[in-house]
Amino acid sequence: MSRTITVAAAQLGPIQKAEGRDVVVPRMLRLLERAHQRGAEVVVFPELALTTFFPRWYHEDLNEADHWYETSLPSPATQPLFDAIRKYGLTVYLGYAELVNDTDAQGVVRKRRFNTSVIIAPSGEIVLKYRKVHLPGHAEYASHRAVQHLEKRYFEVGDLGFPVVRAPVGAAGQPVNLGMLICNDRRWPEAWRVLGLQQVELVMLGYNTPAMNQDNKGFEAHHLRVLHSQLAIQSGCYQNACFGVAVAKAGKEDGHELFGHSIIVNPQGEIIALAATWDDELIVADCNLDLCELGRTTVFNFEKHRRPEAYGRIVEQTGSVPPAVWTPSR
Ligand code: CDT
């Protein structure tokens, strides 16, 4: 019998700055209900799914930004999501901003902030947590930019690595090797490979990606923004023989456009489902996990073909260095 699971990408349309969890959670509940009606066992929501993409807004005092973060899951505002997850027997990826109050040895409380995602089991338990490693943007207000992208101000670099867990999914409880990425992580092959080295079968990732390059450092055609996103996800799935569910927060948030184009990708790197709108939209695909075997046992049989002794620079070096210079002998 094939190991087929039905997965859904629950794309969210825009969330305006003034809209709170009381507006967003009912929209997410409708998507969960539709996912259940369409036979989904796994549902993936976007990065920072409960709020607008707040890193575009500058707060001089970080404490003023606390209302964008969750200090516990579930909370009174998110409890209805957990109730629906239990009712429908779903496994759910949820992206959110996490605020942790850490107390040090001297009893001093320090606030720590992460861009986080969790996998929630059909029982409502948290199966796995991931904190975003590749934080794009900048930490200080950048006057040359049309729009701020202050992830380096609002979040610490994730400290949980790239974990993979084998866990039963959905009401049927099929065991699946599950991993997570968040938005910009998808552009870094190192992140995918660390998941691949743990035999990941399903990579879930949410994103908020501006439709236009906002760095003001040169022109980038808009269609290339989508191409680059898909290229990264398709190659990540192919090179690590896994399925990927990549889910956007899309549309115009307070006038700032985020692209949609949520996709589900198979281990051959093919897009098997694609969102057609920049609004709340559910796309669903059946994923036969046995398809992960072909790549894993042939071209990407890591045990047989990887050469870590030649990859030293990948972990020893961060930035690039100029190459050795060759000069003709005469
Ligand atoms: N949210 C997020 O990581 N967005 C980035 C935008 C990069 S531009 C600063 C992305 O890689 O899609």
Catalytic residue, from 41, 70, 183, 253: name it.
Answer: 183
48 contacts: CB under 8 Å, gap ≥ 6: 54, 95, 96, 97, 115, 206, 208, 249
Query: How far is it, in rounded angstroms, from Cα 56 to Cα 129?
Result: 25
Q: Partners of 178 in the beta sheet?
A: 165, 202
Residue 301's CB is within 10 A of a number of other CB atoms, namely 12
The sheet with strand 281-288 has its strands ordered as 126-131, 109-120, 91-103, 42-44, 4-11, 281-288
Residue 39 C-alpha to ligand 1 middle, in angstroms?
Answer: 31
Which residue's alpha carbon is at the smallest distance from atom 1 of ligand 1?
208
Q: How do the pLDDT tens digits run along the chain, 330 residues long?
A: 789 999 999 999 999 999 999 999 999 999 999 999 999 999 999 999 999 999 999 999 999 999 999 999 999 999 999 999 999 999 999 999 999 999 989 999 999 999 999 999 999 999 999 999 999 999 999 999 989 999 999 999 999 999 999 999 999 999 999 999 999 999 999 999 999 999 999 999 999 999 988 887 888 888 999 999 999 999 999 999 999 999 999 999 999 999 999 999 999 999 999 999 999 999 999 999 999 999 999 999 999 999 999 999 999 999 999 999 999 998
Which pLDDT value is given to residue 214? 84
CATH architecture entry for 4-314: 4-Layer Sandwich (3.60)
Which pLDDT value is given to residue 318? 98
Residue 44 identity? V
Which pLDDT value is given to residue 222? 86
Which residue's alpha carbon is at the smallest distance from atom 3 of ligand 1?
184
Which pLDDT value is given to residue 49? 98
Ligand 1 atom nearest residue 213's Cα: 8
**Which residue out of 208, 212, 253 has the highest number of ligand 1 atoms within 8 Å of its CB and is therefore the one to mutate?**
208
Query: How far is it, in rounded angstroms, from Cα 211 to Cα 258?
Result: 5
Which pLDDT value is given to residue 146? 85
Q: Where are the alpha helices (DSSP H) in the chain?
A: 21-37, 79-88, 151-154, 189-196, 222-240, 292-297, 302-305, 312-316
Q: What is each CA distance from 57 to 6, 140, 249, 252, in whole angstroms?
A: 37, 11, 17, 15
104 contacts: CB under 8 Å, gap ≥ 6: 110
Q: What is the DSSP string of 49-111?
A: TTS--GGGS--SSGGGGGGGSBSSSS-TTTHHHHHHHHHHT-EEEEEEEEEEEEE-TTS-EEE
Ligand 1 atom nearest residue 186's Cα: 11
Ligand 1 neighbourhood includes 149 CB (under 6 angstroms): yes
Q: What is the DSSP string of 228-240?
A: HHHHHHHHHHHHH
Ligand 1 neighbourhood includes 208 CB (under 6 angstroms): yes
Query: What does the radius of gyration of the chain's CA atoms come to, in whole angstroms?
Result: 20
Which pLDDT value is given to residue 218? 80
Active-site residue, 237 included:
no
CB 99 within 8 A of CB 113: yes
Residue 183 C-alpha to ligand 1 middle, in angstroms?
Answer: 6
Residue 209 C-alpha to ligand 1 middle, in angstroms?
Answer: 5
Ligand 1 neighbourhood includes 184 CB (under 6 angstroms): yes
Residue 315's CB is within 10 A of a number of other CB atoms, namely 9
**Which residue out of 15, 209, 226, 231 has the highest number of ligand 1 atoms within 8 Å of its CB and is therefore the one to mutate?**
209
Active-site residue, 257 included:
no
Which pLDDT value is given to residue 58? 97
**∠ at Cα 315 (129, 245), nearest 5°?**
40
Residue 134 C-alpha to ligand 1 middle, in angstroms?
Answer: 9
**Which residue out of 207, 247, 263 has the highest number of ligand 1 atoms within 8 Å of its CB and is therefore the one to mutate?**
207
Which residue's alpha carbon is at the smallest distance from atom 9 of ligand 1?
137
Active-site residue, 47 included:
yes
Residue 180 C-alpha to ligand 1 middle, in angstroms?
Answer: 16
